[in-house]
Amino acid sequence: MKTKTANQVDKHVGSRVRMRRMMLGMSQGQLGDALGLTFQQVQKYERGTNRISASRLQHAAHILQVPPQFFFDGAPGEACINSQAPALSYVSEFLATSDGLTLARAFTRLPNAKLRGRIVALVEELADRCRLRSGLRGCPKDSTPAKNNARVSSLKAGSQAASVMEG
């Protein structure tokens, strides 16, 4: 028996539904109720496991207050329209997570450009340390001296960032 795998466009559309739902602070259950579905069906749509029909996608666009094209922006295989490059998929994927959305919202509320620059530098440094420590797999989950050093460095950077805001 052949195992069903999600189509990349279906995954992309689902991630955009999730991103927009989260931007509005709407739960899967609330979106499901508005669409006449269970939250489990919304989960399947968001994962790309089940394909969303055109009429349901249009209804979702209305509920989520976006044009239907929003769900396809940056989709795999999308041709450039009006010489605009498609959205970077990793940005869309990041913003479709609760951490990504929370971080983006908080970051954009920071009024001090110098502070924002230091936060970007801190995150880049932490990412580089993780990459160097564990190759391309990401940060290890165990508690190691390197991880603890990164925590100390981030606390120091946070103190420096706070002094930038005050000064």
Buried b (16+ CB within 10 A) or exposed e, 58-69: ebbbebbebeee
The pTM score is: 0.59
pLDDT in tens, 20-40: 998 898 999 999 999 999 999
pLDDT in tens, 57-100: 999 999 999 999 999 988 887 554 444 444 456 777 788 788 98
- To which residue do tokens 């991630």 refer? 15
Task: State the CB neighbour count (10 A cutoff) for residue 110.
Answer: 13
List the beta bridge partners of residue 14. none
